[in-house]
């Protein structure tokens, strides 16, 4: 039976299409899944061991399935497990998945991508950061889809300038059962995981699963530990026999991580970084912190200099931490209003509290306090005391993604979609005390409900910053999909129209993008000099130089200096400039077309072309920045042309792309003023090609290859804030490998023994926009071996060897617009042994 006849038979009734919809793995959202399957293709999905999937979307898209994910190291983040796909580069901070990392896609960094689970955006609502260690366990993921350079028309995100990574949660099984993993490995790695499936129970055939996870490991290069707890559950209810359903999924994730210290390129070139115990003590954090015992009437000074720390406490692993508690609820539902009219409704709620650790030294007579404060409890105010000083973010986020889909012909559909996303984003830095060992009394500092805050004489509490923002997205979208020319021609055209608003409240005096001065003391208003918004700057006396940035200014006129000293004293020195507390609002909206066309020449070969416009509205930090008062949103225009070929033995695709990226916002450090600020770099052009091929010559043997080439070019120079212009015109973006590739071989040696070998090659990467420092390329090889036992439903032992040849390399980069970067040392060879059983 040929492909056209198959489509015609499948599309002959609304019921047939409804049954097909209910059987597919959900795509980005329930509405997108329906639209992509409603105009029926009739061809069953081809896949080679789940490592490559034959796609037919009229855009560049790659995917992997659970079959492939299960071969990867258990515990590894799903963003690591898609690292072989074309255009994707993930740099993990350890081999076990809980230490974090970074992902890039076709020249776009993680803050310009959207990571989406079941239609719910997972990027931070303020700065769009992606947190790999907080993602769902891969055992609970059915499929991962990567849109290269484009979004789906109902993408519920304001951050997706460069594409989306969508993963889909497993549906509960029809039969009662369970899955359990017990894992051990290098660096004292331990993993305990289980999922229980209820099967269909009760009068309506309700089904559900519940899952729990605990994992921990030591850090490979230094003192410190990483541990993760996660709990997940999903309940599913089918309604009738035409594919209607309702579902609710719950997630809670708790991470307690010590940082792995970053190093310079010079340190990497001089020292081994994957040997476990680094030869240079400066390359890792300290295991202990020595603090003076408080004694009344005598001075205890925890600083080695007026603005410094004792070495043992500045680099103590106990305050270089990254704690987080996250959770979400995700609903999905589908209802047939008529045979040809479908309604989908996906609500969600997300919660986050997290920080990146930190510490600082305070004098007990700091003028910020509004009076003397005994910080160490010795009964005097003579001391300089180490305090826990973390920037904590607390977010509550509510969302809805809904669609009405009308199938007005067997081969055509029209959708109207509405998205609502509202986030309350609270950024605070309430200080708390350390104990005698240098560990914070609570990892979330003095945040209400957690550790004890530091009450000040002026009635406030000691804090590092104090912001409250509200991000609201109202988005409407329309989407048309139709097949013509004997179903060989597929047209998908849509418009996404986001209306985004940020309401921002800055309650402290703003030093730079990341630091503030929170006090009730009276500041001196510097008239005639403002932050660009018309608000005059403020200066304070430099008695507390460490908190005001440490740089005094000579910019006051003689008359202003005289006025300043009349308030603060004849010898008072003014601090650096601060922006005043303020409340303001920013709005953004844009009409974003999304068009794709594909043509099937026969059952095996097709071509496609797509055009998409995307937007990434300014991040919270950029809007609070006193130097970039009203930045334009980042936008991109992406064109793709591609070719696909699919047979039972060969699956291949090749795509060429061109992307115009406007208004790229970067962070710059002004060394003279010792402040960070945001700057608009302007236009960047990205272009290149990527492709993948899977070949399965025999049922027991399959191979996979991918290759990507990205050329990026900054179109102009820009000022660096110190009166100089950075020579960036014609330069490339940082962190992006121009060339990368991957290979995998799967071999079923016997019915019981399976072997997999895979490699990832990553080319050189710049660490700055002036292209003066470059991280060397590297190649990582992994091995997975599985032996099945004839016990229960499925039982096997799996060995995963990561970084098989113990490659020395640099992973994630802390980049800069100019100057040298800081690099995450790559993890050494690691072993993970897992016992897996199902019943």
Interatomic CA distance for residues 510 and 516, integer angstroms: 5
Question: Measuring CA to CA, how many Å separate 94 from each of 30, 73, 541, 825, 829?
Answer: 34, 12, 45, 9, 10
Query: In the chain, what is the greatest distance between 2 CA atoms, to the nearest angstrom?
Result: 95
pLDDT band for position 169 (50/70/90)? Answer: very high
Beta bridge partner(s), residue 614? 636
264 and 283 in contact (C-beta within 8 Å)?
A: no
Token pair of 307 as six digits: 């603005």
Place of tokens 């999937």: 53
Note the pLDDT tens digit of each residue in 72-119: 999 999 999 999 999 999 999 999 999 989 999 998 888 888 899 998
Query: Percentage of the chain with pLDDT > 70?
Result: 89
Q: How far is CA 179 from CA 74, 213, 835, in A?
A: 13, 12, 11
pLDDT of residue 543: 57
Distance between CA 262 and CA 334 in Å, rounded? 48
CA–CA distance, 391 with 427 (Å, rounded to integer): 7
Q: Which residue has the higher pLDDT, 19 or 417?
A: 417
Pairing of strands 830-838, 794-802: antiparallel
**Confidence (pLDDT) at 313:** 86
In whole angstroms, give the CA distance from residue 54 to residue 652: 8
With the CA atoms of 357, 358, 363 and 369 taken in that order, what torsion angle do they form, in degrees rounded to the nearest 10?
-50
CA distances 789 to 433, 692, 749, 833, Å, are 54, 34, 15, 15
pLDDT digit string, tens, across residues 281-305: 567 888 888 888 999 999 999 887 6
Q: Is 80 exceeded by the pLDDT of residue 593?
A: yes
Question: pLDDT tens digits, residue range 717-764?
Answer: 987 655 678 899 999 999 999 999 999 999 999 999 999 999 999 999
12 band by pLDDT with thresholds 50, 70 and 90: very low
Q: Indicate the length of the chain as a whole number.
A: 839
Region of residue 773 (phi > 0: left; psi between -120 and 50: alpha; otherwise: beta): beta
The pLDDT of residue 343 is above 60: yes
Going by C-alpha positions, the residue among 392, 376, 368, 389 that lies closest to residue 432 is 389
pLDDT above 60: residue 276: no
d(CA 62, CA 149): 12
- pLDDT, residue 574, reads 84
pLDDT, position 551: 43
- Residue 200, burial from CB neighbour count under 10 angstroms (0-12, 13-18, 19+): middle
Q: What is the C-alpha to C-alpha distance for residues 624 and 678, in angstroms, rounded to an integer?
A: 10
Distances from the Cα of 815 to the Cαs of 262, 639, 667, 769, in angstroms?
Answer: 12, 28, 9, 9
Higher pLDDT, 480 or 150: 480
The pLDDT, as a whole number, for residue 35 is: 79
Better-scored residue on pLDDT, 40 or 202: 202
Separation of first and last alpha carbons in the chain: 39
pLDDT, greater one: 414 or 30: 414
pLDDT band with cut points at 50, 70 and 90 for residue 708: very high
Q: Are 771 and 757 in contact (CB under 8 A)?
A: no
Instruction: Say which range, 9-18, 137-146, 454-463, 794-803, has the weakest mean pLDDT.
Output: 9-18
pLDDT, one tens digit per residue, over 630-654 is 788 889 999 999 999 999 999 999 9
Give pLDDT, residue 682: 87
User: Does 622 or 782 have the greater pLDDT score?
Assistant: 782
Q: How far is Cα of residue 170 from the mean position of the Cα atoms in its chain? A: 21
Half-sphere exposure of 617 (CA within 13 A, CB side): 21
Task: Judge whether 690 and 707 are in contact, CB under 8 Å.
Answer: yes
Angle (nearest 5°) at CA 279 between 274 and 282: 100
CA distances from 24 to 6, 37, 168, 394, 488 (A): 17, 8, 11, 36, 22
Question: Cα(65)–Cα(49) distance, rounded to whole angstroms?
Answer: 8
Three-state DSSP state, 411: coil
Question: How far is the C-alpha of 240 from the C-alpha of 464, rounded, in Å?
Answer: 56
Q: Are 656 and 680 in contact (CB under 8 A)?
A: no
Alpha helices in 323-392 (DSSP H): none
Q: Is residue 593 within 8 Å of 612, Cβ to Cβ?
A: yes
> For residue 289, what are its two tokens?
């912190």
For 83, how many CA atoms within 13 A lie in the half-sphere containing its CB?
25
Q: Which two tokens stand for residue 416?
A: 């109207």
Band the pLDDT of 315: cuts 50, 70, 90: confident
Alpha helices in 121-191 (DSSP H): none
User: Band of the pLDDT at 15, cuts 50, 70, 90?
Assistant: very low
Task: Grade residue 43 by pLDDT with cuts at 50, 70 and 90.
Answer: very low
- Residue 627: pLDDT band (50, 70, 90) is low
* DSSP code at position 781: E
In this structure, are residues 369 and 319 in contact, taking their beta carbons and an 8 Å threshold?
no
Per-residue pLDDT reduced to its tens digit, 485-521: 999 999 999 999 999 999 999 999 887 777 788 888 8
Task: Give percent of the chain with pLDDT exceeding 90.
Answer: 62
Q: What angle do CA 374, 375, 376 make, to 5 degrees?
A: 100
Which of 351, 349, 337 shows the shortest CA–CA distance to 406? 337
* C-alpha to C-alpha distance for 667 and 676, rounded to whole angstroms: 7
**pLDDT, tens digit (0-9, with 9 covering 90-100), for 709-723:** 999 999 999 876 556
- Statement: residue 1 has pLDDT above 50: no
Interatomic CA distance for residues 497 and 594, integer angstroms: 11
Is the pLDDT score of 446 beyond 80? yes
Give dist(CA 373, CA 367) in Å, integer: 10
Q: Which of 399-408, 432-441, 665-674, 734-743 has the lowest mean pLDDT?
A: 665-674
Mean pLDDT taken over the chain? 87
Q: Within the chain, which residue ranges are assigned CATH 2.170.130.10? A: 3-155
What value does the mean pLDDT take over residues 246-261?
94
At 349-402, the pLDDT tens digits run 999 999 999 998 898 988 888 889 999 999 999 999 999 999 999 999 999 999
Residue where the block lists tokens 């992406």: 638
Residue 8 banded pLDDT, cuts 50, 70, 90: very low
pLDDT of amino acid 554: 57
738-765 in b/e form (b: 16+ CB < 10 A) is: bebbbbbebebeeeeebebbbbbbbbeb
CA distances from 427 to 354, 521, 621, 623 (A): 10, 22, 10, 14
Give the range with max mean pLDDT: 331-345, 364-378, 560-574: 331-345
CATH H superfamily, domain 3-155: TonB-dependent receptor, plug domain (2.170.130.10)
User: Count of CB atoms within 10 A of residue 308's CB?
Assistant: 12
549 pLDDT more than 80: no
Tokens encoding 690 = 């990527």
- Give CA–CA dist 112/618, Å, rounded: 11
19-28, 337-346, 553-562: least confident range: 19-28
What per-residue confidence (pLDDT) applies to 129?
86
């Amino acid at each position: 039976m040929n492909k056209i006849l198959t489509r015609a038979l499948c599309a002959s009734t609304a019921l047939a299409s409804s049954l097909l919809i209910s059987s597919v793995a959900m795509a980005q959202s329930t509405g997108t899944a329906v639209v992509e399957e409603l105009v029926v293709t009739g061809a069953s999905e081809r896949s080679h061991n789940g490592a490559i999937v034959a796609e037919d979307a009229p855009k560049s898209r790659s995917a992997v399935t659970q079959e492939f994910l299960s071969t990867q190291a258990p515990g590894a983040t799903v963003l690591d497990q898609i690292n072989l796909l074309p255009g994707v580069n993930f740099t993990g901070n350890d081999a076990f998945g809980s230490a974090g990392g970074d992902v890039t896609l076709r020249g776009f960094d993680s803050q310009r991508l959207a990571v989406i689970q079941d239609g719910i955006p997972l990027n931070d609502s303020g700065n769009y950061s992606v947190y790999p260690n907080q993602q769902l366990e891969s055992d609970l993921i059915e499929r991962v889809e990567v849109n290269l350079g484009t979004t789906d028309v109902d993408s519920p995100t304001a951050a997706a300038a460069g594409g989306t990574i969508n993963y889909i949660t497993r549906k509960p099984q029809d039969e009662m059962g369970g899955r359990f993993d017990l894992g051990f490995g290098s660096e004292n790695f331990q993993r305990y995981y289980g999922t229980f499936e209820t099967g269909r129970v009760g009068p309506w055939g309700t089904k559900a699963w519940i899952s729990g996870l605990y994992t921990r490991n030591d850090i490979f290069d230094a003192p410190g530990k990483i541990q993760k707890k996660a709990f997940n559950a999903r309940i599913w209810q089918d309604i009738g026999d035409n594919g209607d359903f309702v579902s609710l999924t719950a997630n809670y994730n708790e991470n307690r991580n010590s940082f792995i210290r970053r190093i310079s390129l010079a340190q990497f070139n001089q020292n081994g970084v994957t040997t476990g115990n680094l030869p240079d003590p400066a390359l890792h954090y300290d295991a202990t912190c020595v603090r003076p015992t408080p004694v009344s009437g005598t001075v205890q000074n925890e600083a080695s200099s007026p603005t410094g720390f004792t070495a043992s406490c500045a680099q103590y692993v106990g305050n270089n931490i990254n704690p987080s508690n996250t959770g979400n609820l995700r609903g999905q539902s589908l209802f047939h209003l008529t045979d040809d009219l479908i309604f989908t409704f996906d609500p969600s709620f997300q919660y986050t509290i997290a920080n990146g650790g930190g510490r600082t030294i305070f004098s007990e007579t700091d003028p910020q306090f509004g009076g003397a404060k005994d910080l160490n409890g010795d009964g005097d105010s003579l001391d300089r005391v180490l305090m826990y000083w973390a920037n904590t973010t607390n977010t509550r986020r509510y969302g809805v993604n809904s669609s009405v889909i009308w199938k007005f012909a067997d081969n055509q559909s029209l959708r109207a979609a509405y998205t609502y996303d509202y986030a309350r984003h609270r950024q605070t830095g309430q200080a708390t005390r350390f104990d005698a060992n240098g560990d914070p009394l609570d990892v979330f500092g003095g945040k209400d409900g957690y550790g004890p805050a530091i009450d000040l004489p002026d009635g406030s509490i000691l804090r590092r910053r104090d912001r409250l923002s509200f991000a609201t997205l109202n988005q409407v979208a329309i989407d048309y999909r139709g097949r013509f020319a004997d179903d060989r021609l597929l047209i998908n055209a849509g418009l996404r129209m986001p209306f985004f608003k940020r309401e921002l409240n800055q309650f402290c005096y703003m030093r730079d993008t990341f630091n503030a001065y929170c006090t009730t003391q009276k500041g001196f208003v510097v008239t005639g000099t403002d932050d660009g918004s018309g608000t005059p700057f403020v200066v304070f006396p430099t008695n507390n130089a460490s908190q005001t940035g440490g740089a005094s200014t000579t910019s006051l006129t003689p008359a202003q200096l005289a006025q300043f000293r009349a308030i603060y004293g004849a010898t008072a020195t003014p601090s650096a400039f601060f922006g005043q507390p303020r409340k303001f609002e920013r709005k953004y909206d844009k009409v974003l077309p999304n068009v794709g066309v594909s043509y099937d020449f026969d059952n095996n070969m097709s071509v496609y072309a797509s055009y998409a416009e995307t937007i990434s509205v300014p991040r919270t930090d950029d809007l609070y920045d006193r130097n970039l008062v009203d930045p334009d949103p980042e936008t991109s225009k992406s064109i793709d042309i591609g070719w696909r070929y699919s047979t039972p033995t060969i699956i291949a695709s090749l795509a060429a792309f061109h992307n115009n990226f406007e208004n790229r916002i970067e962070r710059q450090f002004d060394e003279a003023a010792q402040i960070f600020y945001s700057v608009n770099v302007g236009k960047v052009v990205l272009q290149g090609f990527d492709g993948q091929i899977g070949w399965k010559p025999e049922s027991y043997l399959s191979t996979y290859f991918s290759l990507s080439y990205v050329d990026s070019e900054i179109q102009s120079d820009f000022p660096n804030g110190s009166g100089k212009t950075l020579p960036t015109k014609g330069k490339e973006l940082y962190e992006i490998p121009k060339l990368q590739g991957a290979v995998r071989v799967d071999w079923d040696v016997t019915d019981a023994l399976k072997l997999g070998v895979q490699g990832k090659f990553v080319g050189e990467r710049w660490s700055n926009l002036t292209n003066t420092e470059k991280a060397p390329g590297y190649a990582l090889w992994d091995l997975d071996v599985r032996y099945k036992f004839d016990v229960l439903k499925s039982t096997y032992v799996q060995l995963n060897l990561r970084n098989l040849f113990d490659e020395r390399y640099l992973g994630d980069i802390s980049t800069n617009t100019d100057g040298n970067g800081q690099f995450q040392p790559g993890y050494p060879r690691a072993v993970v042994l897992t016992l897996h059983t199902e019943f």
